[in-house]
Structure 1
């Protein structure tokens, strides 16, 4: 009897639905205020978020991704000898990132394809070859890419990027305007494949997919330089999902690098930079 009287006299217990609803509204308002006050996320070079891989279904029926068959004898390939290393250094020593491209003349597409073939020779984790190269030459697609990138870069420079980052970029004279995205005759968008698919449709792991794709991109830069083409390595912050959607790429692909490619415009200038000497980058034991 005393318990019933206690319940009937307790305003909290008699009005518990309203009490629960009130707590829920407070929680919602608190989260909305937190997101509003936080504003756009500020990025530095150290706090880049990595995508989480949902690959739980790969533990069933474990099978190697590659066919199990005997190894074959190694046949050495061609080289630049004599003095191949020195010649290659001299070639790559002339490579510079440029931001002023000629729209014409336009390099033959077969040259771009050969360079990407060279990139495809890169090593990869468990030979998964986790890269996709999208070559863009249609003006309307390049224009759409430029609009996406400039919209995000305006926010990046003004709000997201740390002030020190923006300050460090000042000598390079960069900003959110990216004329090279429509001036360059080709854009190469390099996607890393977070996972792949086997012939029977099962998902398969792509080990070290970002490192492998980065190595492949490095070989591409060397191939472009050997072909007499110039380029600019860009990593447009916050643009990946929109560009992937624009190009109708699958969900397992994430944009890693956007690379304008072509010939430098007449009168093109570059920052007056010095590369580190061998003694500054080499340690021998």
Structure 2
């Protein structure tokens, strides 16, 4: 196999070549590209997480379009290992809240170390999760640990946590763009969610999102975001560069 330009047949012997199609892309001018990047930042910088939701209804179609957006996320081997279970039934939301609060009570009263408690103190969170019943929608995101074919045999999925997490980010952005607020929540442990929502054994809960309009009296913690210079670097590698053994295996990638 050529190390510089191996052929498809060399890399994937016995497999048919992939089907491709032209990329649908319109290149923008530099000024418009910059303007769009800045405008989207300002839109997303206005996004805040709140625990206070209005009970006003949100059309299901809005949720569906946001989930479609989430489903455009890249994923390992294009397995799309995510499932979005949306709950609007009040009785089911009550059961969901009761189960979550039972676990959260244990966390706040028994499991939470002081370091974690100190980190949460500026946010003022507690084990009472009224947002799960106030918000018109609760979306539980599951990662598909492995696939199941028509005969029930397992098929391997790749980078499921990373893939589903990217999809969640797109979902939050889409919901904010639609004019809604969200609250992300990760009860620990989360195994009860699959049972409560009747999910198959190959799925594992990753995130719970309350979704809706903010309450008229909604508040948010007075916090700031890290400035760009604390989260962004350019060309700051080691002057000598990394030592690369030409005989070593190639780096692990998820693409």
TM-score bracket, shorter-length normalisation: 0.7 to 0.9
Q: Does residue 173 of the first structure (1) align with residue 124 of the second (2)? A: yes
In structure 2, distance between residues paired with 1:77 and 1:108: 32
Q: Does residue 116 of the first structure (1) align with residue 70 of the second (2)? A: no
The residue aligned with 2:18 is: 69
In structure 2, distance between residues paired with 1:67 and 1:226: 41
Q: Does residue 268 of the first structure (1) align with residue 218 of the second (2)? A: yes
In structure 2, distance between residues paired with 1:102 and 1:274: 25
Q: Does residue 185 of the first structure (1) align with residue 136 of the second (2)? A: yes
1:135 alignment partner, SS class: strand
- Correspondent of 1:125 among 51, 57, 76: 76
In structure 2, distance between residues paired with 1:207 and 1:262: 32
In structure 1, distance between residues paired with 2:182 and 2:27: 26
In structure 1, distance between residues paired with 2:175 and 2:27: 18
The residue aligned with 2:48 is: 96
In structure 1, distance between residues paired with 2:217 and 2:17: 55
The residue aligned with 1:207 is: 158
Alignment of 1:144-155 (within 5 A): 144-155=95-106
- Correspondent of 1:157 among 105, 108, 117: 108
Larger Rg: 1
Provide the aligned C-alpha RMSD in A: 2.1
- Correspondent of 2:184 among 233, 254, 264: 233
Pairwise CA distance, 1:267: 1.6
1:232 alignment partner, SS class: strand
Of Structure 1 and Structure 2, the greater helix share is in 1
* Normalised TM-score (structure 2): 0.82
- Correspondent of 1:216 among 167, 189, 193: 167
| Pair 212,78 (structure 1): closer, same or farther in 2 beyond 3 Å | farther
Q: Could you report, residue by residue, the CA deviation over 1:231-271 in whole angstroms, capped at 9, with x for unpaired residues?
A: 01110111x22111111100110100000000000121101
| Pair 67,102 (structure 1): closer, same or farther in 2 beyond 3 Å | farther
Alignment of 1:18-33 (within 5 A): none
| Pair 247,178 (structure 1): closer, same or farther in 2 beyond 3 Å | same
Pairwise CA distance, 1:200: 4.9
* Normalised TM-score (structure 1): 0.73
The residue aligned with 2:194 is: 244
| Pair 167,270 (structure 1): closer, same or farther in 2 beyond 3 Å | same
